[in-house]
């Protein structure tokens, strides 16, 4: 349920949003190179609520994001409450979009599971694509640029090679659906997935072979796939900046959190050279969304501040 907003508050927030938009346009100006667009991930606040028992009211999170100069957010399906509306639930979509509009923020992406995308059953894969089509229409209605997909789940009796082939073929179809709507669909793999190496990442990406299907650059996951060397930008260069749809930005120390997924940390709290990865992105022509990924970080607000400073500084320096 949305918090009550009286007329005076709504007008003040709308005016602030307009002022922020005007400043961005002036800062970039006609003919000037567009800057990266920055966002906060609601997944960090979702995971903090679950893992640490903390409370993050959604209006508090959005007010923080707006005041810190972020332009957008990435949604997760089950936080702060309920699931995504269906694409034909226009009243729910209008209410959802209004909340973010009031804070001058744009929903740039929504997160989706993708275990059905490599299910051995053709019927299950078709069902996943059917749901994906509805989610893509929802993303378009909200004003997103992207959809993020995570292919977790087990092999279900097939070999890894068979699973990669099925996933790539299904992702190609997802790329067609997203591309027809002017969207990108971007995937991420993690240490806990059956797909968890640089080779898997590249085989999925090149096997799908669709211009609207791209990868997500997450330094913590790329570091794990690059041997936990503290140099995730090396794998970024192998993948190619042109193959990255958007970024989940964080630092990492090369370990796993609780033996599960890559440890996400605020910039400066880990062992990577955050500026180097950002420089590779800028020099490679990346001009899309960079979302601060505060997954299971004890203080997501602190991570957002530190990572936003690093992003802004890297843009000026590189």
pLDDT at residue 110 in the model: 98
Q: What is the mean pLDDT of each run of 10 residues along the chain (318 residues)?
A: 46 43 39 78 96 96 98 96 95 97 98 98 98 98 98 98 98 98 98 97 98 98 97 98 98 93 97 97 97 98 98 89
All domains of the chain in start order, with CATH: 35-317 (3.20.20.150)
- Residues near 190 by Cβ (< 8 Å), separated by ≥ 6? 150, 152, 196, 221, 261, 262
Count how many Cα atoms sit within 13 Å of the Cα of residue 75 in the half-sphere of its side chain.
29
> SS3 sequence, the chain?
CCCCCCHHHHHHHHHHHHHHHHHHHHHHCCCCCCCCEEEEEHHHHHHHHHHHCCCCCHHHHHHHHHHCCCCEEEEECCECCCCCCCCCCHHHHHHHHHHHHHCCCEEEEEEEECHHHHCCCHHHHHHHHHHHHHHHHHHHHHCCCEEEEECCCCCCCCCHHHHHHHHHHHHHHHHHHHHHCCCEEEECCCCCCCCCCHHHHHHHHHHHCCCCEEEEECHHHHHHHCCCCCCHHHHHHHHCHHHEEEEEECECCCCEHHHCCECCECCCCCCCCHHHHHHHHHHCCCCCEEEECCCCCCCHHHHHHHHHHHHHHHHHHC
CA–CA separation, 73 vs 102, rounded Å? Answer: 13
- The predicted pLDDT at position 259 comes to 83
CB atoms within 10 A of CB 181: 17
| pTM reported for the whole predicted model | 0.90
């Amino acid at each position: 349920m949305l918090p009550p907003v009286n007329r005076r508050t709504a007008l003040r927030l709308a005016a602030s949003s307009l002022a922020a938009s005007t400043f961005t346009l002036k800062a970039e100006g006609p003919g000037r190179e567009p800057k990266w667009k920055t966002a906060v991930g609601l997944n960090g606040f979702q995971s903090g609520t679950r893992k640490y028992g903390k409370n993050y009211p959604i209006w508090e999170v959005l007010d923080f994001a707006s005041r810190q100069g972020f332009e957008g957010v990435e949604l997760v399906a089950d936080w702060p409450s309920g699931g995504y509306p269906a694409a034909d639930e226009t009243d729910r979509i209008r209410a959802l979009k209004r909340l973010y509009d009031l804070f001058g923020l744009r929903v740039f992406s929504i997160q989706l599971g993708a275990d059905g995308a490599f299910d051995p059953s053709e019927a299950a894969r078709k069902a996943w694509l059917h749901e994906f089509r509805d989610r893509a229409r929802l993303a378009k209605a909200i004003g997103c640029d992207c959809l993020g997909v995570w292919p977790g789940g087990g092999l279900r009796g097939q070999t890894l090679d068979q699973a990669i082939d099925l996933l790539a073929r299904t992702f190609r179809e997802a790329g067609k659906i997203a591309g027809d709507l002017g969207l990108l669909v971007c995937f991420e793999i993690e240490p806990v997935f059956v797909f968890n190496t640089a080779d898997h990442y590249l085989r999925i990406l090149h096997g799908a072979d669709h211009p609207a299907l791209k990868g997500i650059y997450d330094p913590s996951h790329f570091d794990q796939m690059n041997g936990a060397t503290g140099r995730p930008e090396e794998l970024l260069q192998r993948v190619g900046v042109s193959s990255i749809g958007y970024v989940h930005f964080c630092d990492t120390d090369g370990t796993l959190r609780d033996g599960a997924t890559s440890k996400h940390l605020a910039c400066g709290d880990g062992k990577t050279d955050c500026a180097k990865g950002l420089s590779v992105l800028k020099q490679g022509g990346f001009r899309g969304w960079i979302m601060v990924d505060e997954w299971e970080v004890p203080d997501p607000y602190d991570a957002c501040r530190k990572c936003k400073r690093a992003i802004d500084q890297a843009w000026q320096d590189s």
